[in-house]
Amino acid sequence: MRIVMFGCPGAGKGTQAKVIAAKSGAKHISTGDMLREAVANKTEIGLKANEYMSKGALVPDEVVVGIVKEKLVNDKITDFILDGFPRTIPQAEALDVMLAELNLPVEKVVNLNIDHQVIVNRLCERRVCLACGESYHLKNNPPKVEGKCNACGADLVHRSDDQPEAIKTRLDQYDQKTAPLLDFYKKQGKVIDIDASGAIDDIRDNIMKALGL
């Protein structure tokens, strides 16, 4: 299984990718999680990426393509769910080249459709675990113990780019640089459109059905 999760910030890519990964055994690869880990560890890439991420801007293509390639090749991953990558046409082209070399082309692109207005509330009320990457929503998907991750017990945090100004920038970046990618994948006949405005479990069921899981 080789899937790309597609959709604007807050569409539910991470939430659904984790469930598909658990059900299918494919590896969940989130560029956002990898970059946040690099920021937390203050690596060279992390320090550079943080200048962009904190404002809601996209990290340069060559940095992100490099970390994805390293992950796929070093860990010899053959089944994956990409979450947050690719995000620009050059990233998608680089991914196609890298996967052609590995003979592992993308099979499906799950496009989570949702109105930008719903997103601001979702992201302002999101809390995340930086230790294991789990994501919660204060009302729609709260943790069992306030402020603590269900999966690993670490403290939950409010991401610095989940503030109204940065959310606006992220949505603008999505419209300008990421949304055009949909045509790129439509031309390859790989896009599955999913309404992402309903309940988390209903969206999950629709994705599973569409993927035959």
> CB of 106 within 8 A of CB of 81?
no
50 lies in the site for ligand AP5, by CB under 6 A: no
Angle ∠(68,164,35) on CA atoms, nearest 5: 15
126 lies in the site for ligand AP5, by CB under 6 A: yes
# residues contacting ligand AP5 (CB under 6 A): 35
Q: Which tokens in the block code for residue 120?
A: 């601001």
Give the shortest CB-25-to-ligand AP5 separation in angstroms.
20
Peptide bond into 60 cis (omega under 30): no
Q: Which tokens in the block code for residue 133?
A: 């990457």
80 or 85, CB closer to ligand AP5? 85
How far is the C-alpha of 169 from the C-alpha of 70, rounded, in Å? 28
Q: What is the DSSP letter of 175?
A: I
Distance from the first to the final alpha carbon of the chain? 10
Piece of 37-45, 55-63, 93-101, 185-193 that binds ligand AP5 (CB under 6 A): 55-63
Decide if 87 is catalytic: yes
Decide if 13 is catalytic: yes
170 lies in the site for ligand AP5, by CB under 6 A: yes
122 lies in the site for ligand AP5, by CB under 6 A: yes
Give the shortest CB-31-to-ligand AP5 separation in angstroms.
3
Decide if 148 is catalytic: no
Contacts of ligand AP5 in 92-121 (CB under 6 A) = none
How far is the C-alpha of 126 from the C-alpha of 13, rounded, in Å? 13
How far is the C-alpha of 150 from the C-alpha of 70, rounded, in Å? 30
> CB of 184 within 8 A of CB of 87?
no
Contacts of ligand AP5 in 131-160 (CB under 6 A) = 135-137, 140-141
Decide if 36 is catalytic: no
**Interface residues with ligand AP5 (CB under 6 A)?**
7, 9-15, 31-32, 35, 52-53, 56-59, 64, 84-85, 87, 91, 122-123, 126, 135-137, 140-141, 161, 170, 199-200, 203
